Amino acid sequence: MRALSIYYPYLALSLGLIGLPFAQAGDAGMKKWEKGKGWGWVWGPEDEVGSLNEMTEASKLAALNLAKIGKTYDLGVTYDRYSFKWPGHSPGEIMTFRTPEGVKRQGEFPPAETGTAWHSCALFMNDNVATQIDGLGHLVGGDDNHWYNGFKEADWGGDWGVRKCDATTIPSIIARGVLIDIAGYRGVAALPPHYGITVDDLQGALRKQGTKLAPGDVVLLRTGAIQYWEDPNDREKLTAHDTAGLLLEGAKWLVEDHGAMLIGSDTSGLEYGPAPADAEAFQNKRGSFVPVHNYLLIRQGVHIGELHFLEDLAADKVYEFAYICSTNKIRGTTAGFALRPMALR
């Protein structure tokens, strides 16, 4: 029976069974996830990858087999100097650094004398810009400022970026993606400001969609906030609706009960943001202003996806797909940023 379970994903793939019974195939291939506990620091003392270690050639192939018609959904948002940012992030600037006129006039590059020149740009921005995946070095906790797997600021921090769990350690992701349309389930265009997504919401939306979760999934939660991204006239709406998000109980349910390997949403922070009047009481109760980040990134080694554009998937009622994403390979950064992940149907 053990030998059969090892080859089940290949058998299922060859028989065309990957799809509806994906959960069974996923369960058969799990290496480190434990129901009721989740992932945790189980990959060894030097690990910098976390739950994404769970991907295998077989699991990637099974995920790609979910694509039946070849339709691609762009999950990235467009970024410029006017784009929305979470208050704790810095704005970004894109500046023309070399212009055709300047190159030709200043003659810094002899071949420009032929009449051919170019544009190039300088970027001034932090690593939490637009569609992103938080790396496991992004958040720290405790008096020793430790992050995932016990790496500490005193040992692995630096003036030129973190030296453990930076964004270059995030592998290329090919996995089964699942959309949980919470706004659709609640019958609203976008969840109200400061709305906390509960376990009941997750269960109800999945039931309505007829979708089942499996260990190793990339789970994306739709609040509807991202529909206000592009129009500057909607900035107040985006700022307000961006505060809706996942409660800690929901994060634990997705990880410990169902083995989510990455959890993302269409907001800048994934998790619930309390109203100002409730913020102090919330932080005192949870021990952090971002308890879901603490739990996922530090304790479980589960990456967080933010500002994913999910409107087209929801409009087409596409709840299961191949999720494909690769981050910028910039050493020391704490997030893969300005990404363009895709859902392949």
For the stretch 59-85, pLDDT in tens is 999 999 999 999 999 999 999 888 988
CATH classification at residue 138: 3.50.30.50
Say which DSSP state 247 is in.
-
Residue 105 within a domain:
yes
Q: Look up residue 13 and give its two tokens.
A: 């793939």
Residue 34 within a domain:
yes
Residues 18 and 106 in one domain: no
* Amino acid at residue number 82: Y
Residues 100 and 162 in one domain: no
Residue 53 within a domain:
yes
Helices (H), the chain: 2-14, 22-29, 57-64, 100-106, 153-156, 182-186, 199-209, 235-241, 248-252, 276-286, 291-293, 311-315
Residues 150 and 38 in one domain: yes
pLDDT one-digit tens code per residue, 41-61: 999 999 999 999 999 999 999
Residue 263's beta-bridge partner residues? Answer: 219, 304
Average pLDDT over residues 167-185: 98
Residues 235 and 316 in one domain: yes
Q: Is the pLDDT of residue 275 over 60?
A: yes
* Amino acid at residue number 257: D
Residue 151: what pLDDT?
Answer: 97
Q: Is the pLDDT of residue 20 over 50?
A: no
Residue 88 within a domain:
no
Residue 86 within a domain:
no
pTM reported for the whole predicted model = 0.89
Residues 132 and 255 in one domain: yes
Token pair 């102090």 is at which residue? 280
Residues 100 and 32 in one domain: no
Residue 260 within a domain:
yes
Per DSSP, the three-state class of 134 is: strand
How far CA 260 is from CA of 22, 85, 312, in Å, comes to 14, 27, 22
Q: What is the DSSP annotation of 45-59?
A: TT--SGGGGG--HHH
Say which DSSP state 164 is in.
S
| Beta strands 245-246; 196-197: pairing state | parallel
* Contacts of the segment 182-186: beta carbons below 8 A, 24+ positions apart: 182/221, 182/222, 182/223, 183/222, 183/223, 183/224, 183/314, 184/208, 184/222, 184/314, 185/209
Q: Look up residue 296 and give its two tokens.
A: 């996922």
Which residues constitute the domain of residue 333? 2-81+128-344
Residue 333 within a domain:
yes
Residues 100 and 33 in one domain: no
pLDDT one-digit tens code per residue, 158-173: 899 999 999 999 999 9
Residue 22: what pLDDT?
Answer: 47
Burial of 2 (0-12, 13-18, 19+ CB in 10 A): exposed
Greater pLDDT, 84 or 136:
136
Residues 109 and 178 in one domain: no
Phi and psi of 151, rounded to 5°? -70, 135
* Amino acid at residue number 117: A
Q: In terms of Cα–Cα distance, which of 318, 274, 273, 72 is closest to 181?
A: 318
Residue 174's beta-bridge partner residues? Answer: 324
Residue 320's beta-bridge partner residues? Answer: 178
Q: In terms of Cα–Cα distance, which of 28, 30, 38, 23 is closest to 55?
A: 30
pLDDT band at 256 (very low <50, low <70, confident <90, very high): very high
Residues 190, 28: Cα–Cα separation, whole Å = 37
Lowest mean pLDDT among 20-24, 89-93, 211-215: 20-24
With beta carbons less than 8 A apart as the criterion, state whether 290 and 271 touch.
yes
Q: Is the pLDDT of residue 3 over 80?
A: no
Residues 190 and 315 in one domain: yes
Residue 8 within a domain:
yes
Domains: count for the chain: 2
| Beta strands 218-222; 245-246: pairing state | unpaired
Q: Is the pLDDT of residue 157 over 50?
A: yes
pLDDT band at 29 (very low <50, low <70, confident <90, very high): low
Residue 117: what pLDDT?
Answer: 84
Residues 74 and 138 in one domain: yes
Greater pLDDT, 107 or 302:
302
Residues 215 and 282 in one domain: yes
Residues 280 and 329 in one domain: yes
